[in-house]
Chains A and B, each alone.
Chain A
Amino acid sequence: MKRTHPSPTRRSLLKAAALAAGLGIGVVGVAQAQDKAPIQFATLMDFTRVYTFLTSEYSQGQQDYIKLVNMEGGVDGRPIKLIIKDHASYPERGIAQYNEARSDGAVFFDFLSTPVANALMPRANEDHLPMIAFAHGRADAADGQKFPYVFPAAAIYRSQAALLLQFIDEHEGGLKGKKIAFVHIDSPFGKEPIELLNKVSALKGFELKLFPYPVPGTEQAATWTEVRRYRPDKVIIWGAGPGQAVSIRGAVGNGIAPKDIHSVIWLSESDMQSFTGDTVVGLKRFTAVNTGTSPAILKRIVDKVITPGQGSGDKAKVGTTYYNIGVASMAIAVEAARLATKKLGAPLTGEKLKQGFEMLKDFTAEGLMPPLTITDKDHQGGGWGRVSEWDGKQWAPKSDWSHAFQDVVWQLIREDEAKAKK
């Protein structure tokens, strides 16, 4: 029996065409879906233990900014998904969360904790996954040759101390012959600027005396008795969280004028709520990003995220120091992702994102921060900042964006690296 193939009818041809078209659309759809899959950023932070003074406001700024970015189309049409977890500053927990987020496809990390960041810096380098340590962490993280995947992306602690000294030198009667008291928490963070202070002391001819106080800094009475007896011309306080308020009380209670007190970056509007009226007006602080909601980027967050009720936290915190630092940290990462995708193409990988960071040139996040230029050598971005003064209600800028003693900062980084090699 001769088997004959039925000739295709018009109807069957149409069916086949429809099926093929359907399959084709499906394949394209899958490809498009993969192409537009979210870019994952992991913000693994300490919400519950040591860095509690900072994390909630910082994370709120990051989340609100990412909402804005996603509302405005994401990066190359891809939304950004934040993986947010609490490691409570326990390195072992941070490492476990890092591994999980890495398995889930995260290409960028922010740990906001010196112990966890230090534990994971070598891993980030091995895995070729960029991490940010905005204005904190180890000084040698600024060296892009040593840590290619770690980005302080703002003034490291030594650059902050350098800028405070320069401000005293240029705006407060000079450093020469002055007595500077450095009152610091007795931890690696508190000790970080000491070598720089010693070097600049020798350069500029001022006397430096160190006054450590124990962790967590809640009891400093004996320290401030000693400081007062030293009769310093200027005091630099170097702590964080509740210890900062105790330091300020100790200083003022021992007759030191607020105008002569200068602080590390970690002193926010929330910390200053402890002081009513004009009791500490004139106190100064290193500032890495502008505060308030005037910068264009903040205005858009307010208009598109906060006002429609899409904000991630307390409205009153929008525009505070730590909130804006959170926005800045995420704006830097998003801009790096944009540049990487534009110049190197999708999909975004850790290697591409690293190069994106190193393409940042004069990036200000729409006026939020000083011009940031990162190179393959300098991951600090120049060590820029300014000095702000507490006016009783807010931090008012007292100087233009600037940087100081960067030759000394880098000399110390090289010396540290040479010591580490021995």
Chain B
Amino acid sequence: MSYFIELLINGALTGLMYSMVALGIVLIYKSSGVLNFAQGAMVMIGGYAVWLLAETGLPITLAIMLALLVMFAFGLLAERVLLRTMVGQPIIMIVMLTLGLDIFLRALGPGLLGTEPKHLDIGIGMAPLILGDVLTNRTYAVGGVIALVLIALALLFFRTRLGTKLRAVSDDHVSSWSVGISVERAVAISWGLAGLCAVAAGTMWGAVQGVDWSLTALLFPAVAVVILGGVDSILGALVAGLAVGILGSVIPGYVDSLVGGSTRDVVTSVVILLTILIRPYGMFGREDIERI
């Protein structure tokens, strides 16, 4: 039984780490209706930013704070330089643009900073947290707490005046313009907030594995999370993150040794397929009804 509980807890913590990546995707989608396929690459750039600042001799906390500013500014810049020029274009072309941004960033980071993994020491030791017969990874535990804090802040933010404007923008760009809301500003802020999530995720995942291109691979589980939870739902990112993490831990924990291969990616793929087939808008996503 303790084996199951350990798989459950570690899976939940891993899932919360996925939620940090997914939250960035949700925030952008909520304001602009665009699925940001560059979020994985933004996580990598966030990790590189923290590493680069820490390498200058700054304390890690200060490096993270500055990286948050840098990536918020990056988000604003991405809106100004890329997204704004695409106003009026089909949404699929904007999604393609985010794919292009993903490829560009994946080449830029390692190209400028070298391809070997960068060591990111955030002061969390390797000794596990021991809860009876259950061991958990300290970095994942801290990451899980940070993910919960970010999700809570995001939920609170959408209750503020600015958040309400973003919700209005997510409902209808034209109507928002007509009542004086700056859609461009709202979209820029959502990209900036996604940049903050990227720093959080890049720091925590970078502390686990080092910072390199492979951080971009986090996009896959994050997309599974947003599809299951609903691409416009912050609460969905939390619940689906937990679900994807737990399923991806418990099922392989019992099945892998029987089949002689890793089944975690299979589990994640099945989650995506079943969700799209059964409930295309996810557990908590809004089902849009269009007049035809």
Contacts and interface: CB of A to CB of B under 8 A. Distances in A.
Interface stretch (A2-10, A120-128, A223-231, A379-387): A223-231
Interface in A1-42: none
Nearest to B250: A222
B128 interface: yes
B264 interface: yes
10 contacts: A56-B114, A57-B116, A212-B262, A213-B262, A214-B265, A221-B13, A225-B253, A241-B214, A253-B127, A274-B210
A184 B191 CA distance: 38
B214 A218 contact: yes
Given A222-B7, A242-B210, A245-B209, A214 B264 contact: yes
Interface of A: 47-49, 52-53, 55-57, 186, 209-219, 221-223, 225-226, 228-229, 241-243, 245-246, 249-250, 252-255, 270-271, 273-276, 279
A222 B214 contact: no
A370 to B, nearest CB: 26
Interface in B228-242: none
Interface string B190-234: 000000000000000100111011110110000000000000000
A253 B126 contact: yes
B116 A221 contact: no
A188 to B, nearest CB: 12
3 pairs of A and B residues whose beta carbons are closest in the complex: A52-B115, A186-B262, A214-B262
A225 B135 contact: yes
B182 interface: no
A333 to B, nearest CB: 24
Given A242-B212, A249-B208, A222 B264 contact: yes
Nearest to B210: A242
Contacts of A250: 137
Nearest to A270: B116
B115 to A, nearest CB: 3
**Secondary structure dominating the interface of B:** helix
B284 to A, nearest CB: 24
Contacts of A47: 115
Contacts of A254: 128, 135
Contacts of A215: 265
Most buried by A among B116, B250, B261: B116
Contacts of B217: 216, 218
Contact of B10 (A49, A225, A246): A225
B117 A241 contact: yes
B119 interface: yes
A324 to B, nearest CB: 15
A223 B10 CA distance: 11
Contacts of B117: 53, 241-242, 245, 270-271, 274
B285 interface: no
Nearest to B125: A279
Nearest to A55: B115
B217 to A, nearest CB: 6
A279 to B, nearest CB: 6
Contacts of A209: 257
Contact of A211 (B107, B126, B208, B257): B257
A190 to B, nearest CB: 9
